[in-house]
Structures are given as structure tokens and as C-alpha cells.
Amino acid sequence: MARRRGIMSDRLKYELAAELGFYHKVQDGDWGNITTREAGSLVKAAIARAERMLADHGQLSQGRGKGL
């Protein structure tokens, strides 16, 4: 089974890892060293950042309540 291409850029992943306090585990490029909880926190932080960006551009409120 082929792997899907990542949605998040590497830059964003490393930036979020630094903000969340586990950059030291991934700085060598091996993401297999993080815990499931850290991976979940990374995804949650990425979603929150994307929502903030959309809200800043006035796009988030337009999509709410319309099945999005």
C-alpha cells in the first residue's frame, strides 16, 4: 500500500514540535521517536492553527453550520 503524501509541511511539523516541547526527539528527522500523545498534540495544534488562519481571513465562520 502506497503512503499518502503529507499534508503538513516539514517546516510546520518541526515548528509545532518545538512549540509542544518535543523537538529534541525529532530534530534528526526520525518521527518514530514521538509518543502517540505527542503525535495527537501535533495534529491538534495544526488544526487549531489552520482554524485561526481561516478565522483571520473571515472564512471559518462562513463554513460553519453548512456541513463543513
* 3 part of a folded domain: no
Helix (H, G, I), strand (E, B) or coil at 61: helix
Length of the chain in terms of residues written: 68
Residue 68 inside a domain? The answer is no
- Predicted pLDDT of residue 22: 96
Give how far Cα 33 sits from Cα of 23, 24, 26, 29, Å: 11, 10, 7, 10
pLDDT in tens, the chain (68 residues): 566 667 889 999 999 999 999 999 999 999 999 999 999 999 999 999 999 999 988 765 555 555 55
1 within domain boundaries: no
Q: How many domains does the chain have?
A: 1
What is the C-alpha separation between 53 and 37, in angstroms, rounded?
A: 24
pLDDT for the residue numbered 1: 54
29 inside domain: yes
Give the domain range for residue 24. Answer: 10-63
Is residue 4 in some structural domain? Answer: no
